[in-house]
Amino acid sequence: MFFNVLLTVVFGSYTLYGVASEGLFMFGLWGLFRKCGVAPWHALVPCLRHYSLGLCASREPEGRVLFVTQAAMLLSNLATLFIPPLTGFYYLLLAFQMVLLVIAVIYEIRIYLGLAEVFQSRKRWALVGLFFSFILAIVFGWSKKYQPKWKITDYREQAASLSGASAKVMDEGLTVNLEERSVSDFFKKKYLLRDIHMYIQPGSMVLLLGGSGAGKTTFLNAVNGYERAKAKVVLNSSDVYADYKKMQYQIGFVPQQDLMRGSDTVLHTLGDAALLRLPFDMPAARRKERITEVMQIFGLEPVAGSLVDKLSGGQRKRLSIAMEFISNPSLFILDEPDSGLDGVMARELFEQLRQIADQGKIIIVITHTPDRVIDLFDDVIVLAKDANRTGRLAYYGSIDDARSFFGKTRMEEIVMCINREEEGGEGRADEFIEKYAEVQHA
């Protein structure tokens, strides 16, 4: 590969040797990819083959860099066809290609070293790959002597298996049957969430627990319809996705960072929220009455005429929650509402949320300090990253049962036991994902 690229930079097109070696390289990669569990046809696609080679070598980041480098090289070669030779821009482009060549060489060496490790061979194969890539590809791809010590498909299957469970849709409350939430990540499907099924009854205040990257915010966005997943989410007999325009007024979502204008008063802020979230044809008198009701619930009447910038941290939090509560939603979702609040103020805020839940609402909350208010919650949802770093359901149920299920007394301890070892945890996520799957089938 190195010689092929170098010849291309110097002569502007492939030589006969380059064409022949490129064909042999693709032939070798076809067998190599098949051994490693990558789609063999990737060998036929320029640039993509280099990324896939990085996957086989367990060097995906290097494969991405090489993909971009090769793509830039191809585009620059195309540009030379339209640029007069021996001009300033021509030499500038040539210098750019030489920089790309150096980057390509560095990352090719890293990938070939990775391949040598995966195929349990000597490191000197990296030099063979650098100068005669087609030889390395053919030997590793078609020789029975060289076999990879793992396949990409095998790696994916190391995670806990899918539960096959499904939550029964009820007339009241929230039912979530989420098969997957995925994105396309460099020509492959990346799962953010999988296999999450639950029913939450009205009047419940639920804690959403999980370590960093477990998919808590992604899960909430999937439930409220902001980021749709392959899922069926039903709230009080209505499909959130199918009836999204109607259901968005039945779901209140309070993000971690508020979006209020500091130069507006509290009353003006709630007035704007009422115009946005209440029915357009609602009489002005009823709208004003609703604003007053919400200010009373959240203790904002004394500061109705105050500017948002002049509010305390607790008052500002209550105002951001009041803005979403103005439409009297059936489901209320809050992402770290106690962020930046001291223990006393946080306690007061969660007690208000408890009162709202007691009115028959469903409250789902993310907080990084759950143990100081855990007595106010009914249930806990625990999300954990499996071996493939996909967010999975490790537990859903009462607080007391969660303590027994994980063998821990504090919620922070539960998070630590499911966190990966490199994150300072115990790395037991897959164990509890499998254990909870068994409970669902019991």
274-278, 378-382, 414-418 — which is least confidently predicted?
Answer: 274-278
Burial of 217 (0-12, 13-18, 19+ CB in 10 A): middle
Mean pLDDT of all residues belonging to the chain = 87
Would you state the structure tokens that stand for residue 49, as one six-digit string? 């083959």
Q: How do the domains of the chain map onto residue ranges?
A: 2-156, 174-250+329-441
Is the pLDDT confidence value at 442 over 70?
no
Assign 12 a pLDDT band (cuts: 50, 70, 90): very low
Taking a C-beta distance cutoff of 8 angstroms, is the pair 93, 80 a contact? yes
State what percent of residues in the chain have pLDDT above 90.
43
- Domain 174-250+329-441 in CATH: superfamily? P-loop containing nucleotide triphosphate hydrolases (3.40.50.300)
Is the pLDDT confidence value at 252 over 50?
yes
Tell me what pLDDT residue 415 has. Answer: 94
Quick: pLDDT tens for 352-364: 999 999 999 999 9
Highest mean pLDDT among 120-124, 205-209, 250-254: 205-209
The Cα 26–Cα 71 span in angstroms is 17
| 3-state secondary structure at position 217 | helix
> How far, CA to CA in Å, does 193 sit from each of 109, 310, 394?
35, 40, 12
One-character DSSP codes across 351-417: HHHHHHHTTT-EEEEE-S-GGGSGGG-SEEEEEEE-TTS-EEEEEEEEHHHHHHHHT-SSHHHHHHH
- Residue with the bigger pLDDT between 116 and 442: it is 116
Taking a C-beta distance cutoff of 8 angstroms, is the pair 105, 2 a contact? yes
The Cα 224–Cα 201 span in angstroms is 16
Q: If we measure between CA atoms, which residue out of 258, 368, 374, 276 comes closest to residue 314?
A: 258
Is the pLDDT confidence value at 186 over 70?
no
To which H or E segment does residue 197 belong? Answer: strand 189-200
Taking a C-beta distance cutoff of 8 angstroms, is the pair 252, 325 a contact? yes
Measured at the CA of 160, the angle between CA 157 and CA 163, to 5 degrees, comes to: 115
For 402, half-sphere exposure in the C-beta direction (CA atoms, 13 angstrom radius) is 28
One-character DSSP codes across 167-190: PPP-SSSEEEEEEEEEEE-SSSEE
Amino acid type, 252: G
Tell me what pLDDT residue 261 has. Answer: 85
Quick: pLDDT tens for 386-420: 988 899 999 999 999 999 999 999 999 999 999 98
- Residue with the bigger pLDDT between 48 and 156: it is 48
- Strands 238-239 and 251-254, by their bridges, are unpaired
